[in-house]
């Protein structure tokens, strides 16, 4: 027997299903003519992203049906009703406050904060990783409902950076004099897997070097003790999450280049993919200021490897 895995729909797939099939179906079901009710593309995107969170489109269809019923009532009660166009600004009146509203705060480059990427049963998600470094006795604290594999990735990331401490201009004895706290927000949501390895290593380096990380860069990849970046799964869903959240660059393992063929074209047109083989290639991309830091004699900051490629397909 062959096991056939059916992944969740991406946001773009949901949009096309809604516009070409669900909206006409619900209009017919409620006796509304296409000229009487229209959904703008931005309104459909807002319904998908702010009011539903699922692998399929059943809730999307029910939400569209709710709007159709409210408009149908207006059609039979208002004598001068001609047509209605649903826009994003109308959704709060029709459906109430957004259930899954994005963080509206303006993003900016911050020290110790990196954009990781995660795969979930309902698609890809942006996974922020925060790191704080304090004077202490070398304790490592991990919070945010992290699973065993993710905790091991955090420990591996710290050891990997420790082996490069002098090269990065970090005090070699930081492990004995600094406490490191790694946190993944939304602590009520369980998280696991090795794909946040390079994100954790980057956030730890940023906190120790006090160097901000570019806010429009996201990354995914497993890390080893030697700093190698290993392939991960779910690149298609993760890349869509990066695109939806306004990321301009996504750092991926070199071993995942073949998976770019499955990435949606709209994502390829708007996101730059940078495949890497080692963590030494990741750090200068995520923290451009790291190259300008003054380090100890004979310990220059890492330069991007010659094999680094930039892909925009």
Catalytic residue positions? 195, 238
- Between CA 17 and CA 11 the distance in angstroms is 10
Beta bridge partners of 117: 126
E-assigned strand segments in 6-91: 37-39, 84-86
**How many other C-beta atoms are found inside a 10 Å radius of the C-beta of residue 135?**
7
- Between CA 154 and CA 142 the distance in angstroms is 8
- Between CA 11 and CA 50 the distance in angstroms is 11
What token pair was written down for 35? 């000229």
E-assigned strand segments in the chain: 37-39, 84-86, 110-111, 113-120, 123-135, 140-143, 178-183, 212-213, 217-219, 222-223, 229-230, 249-253, 272-276
What token pair was written down for 174? 């930081």
- Between CA 123 and CA 237 the distance in angstroms is 5
Q: Which residues contact 283 (CB under 8 A, 6 or more apart)?
A: 168, 202, 205, 290, 302
What token pair was written down for 252? 């991926």
Contact between 80 and 123 (Cβ < 8 Å): no
Query: For residue 272, which phi and psi values (nearest 5 degrees)?
Result: -95, 125
- Between CA 22 and CA 15 the distance in angstroms is 10
Contact between 252 and 280 (Cβ < 8 Å): no
């Amino acid at each position: 027997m062959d096991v056939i895995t059916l992944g969740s729909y991406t946001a773009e797939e949901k949009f096309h299903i809604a516009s070409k099939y669900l909206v006409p179906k619900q209009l017919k079901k409620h006796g509304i003519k296409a000229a009487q009710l229209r959904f703008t593309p931005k309104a459909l995107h807002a319904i998908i992203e702010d009011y539903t969170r699922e692998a399929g489109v059943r809730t999307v269809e029910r939400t569209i049906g709710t709007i159709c019923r409210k408009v149908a009532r207006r059609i039979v009660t208002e004598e001068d009703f001609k047509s209605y166009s649903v826009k994003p600004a109308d959704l709060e009146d029709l459906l109430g406050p957004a259930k899954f509203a994005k963080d509206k705060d303006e993003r900016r480059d911050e020290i110790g904060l990196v954009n990781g990427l995660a795969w979930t049963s309902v698609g890809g998600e942006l996974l922020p990783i925060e790191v704080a470094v304090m004077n202490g006795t070398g304790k490592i604290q991990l919070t945010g409902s992290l699973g065993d594999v993710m905790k091991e990735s955090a420990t591996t990331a710290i050891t990997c950076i420790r082996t490069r401490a002098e090269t990065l201009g970090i005090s070699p004895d930081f492990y004995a004099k600094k406490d490191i706290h790694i946190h993944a927000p939304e602590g009520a949501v369980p998280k696991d897997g090795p794909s946040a390895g390079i994100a954790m290593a980057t956030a730890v380096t940023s906190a120790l070097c006090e160097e901000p990380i570019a806010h429009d860069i996201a990354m995914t990849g497993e890390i080893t003790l030697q700093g190698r970046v290993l392939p991960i799964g779910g690149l298609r869903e993760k890349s869509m999450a990066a695109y939806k959240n306004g990321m301009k660059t996504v750092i991926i393992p070199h071993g995942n280049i073949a998976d770019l063929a499955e990435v949606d074209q709209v994502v390829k047109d708007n996101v730059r993919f940078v495949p890497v083989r080692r963590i030494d290639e990741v750090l200068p991309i995520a923290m451009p200021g790291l190259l300008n830091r003054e380090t100890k004699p004979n310990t220059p900051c890492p330069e991007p490897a010659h094999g680094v490629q930039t892909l925009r397909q």
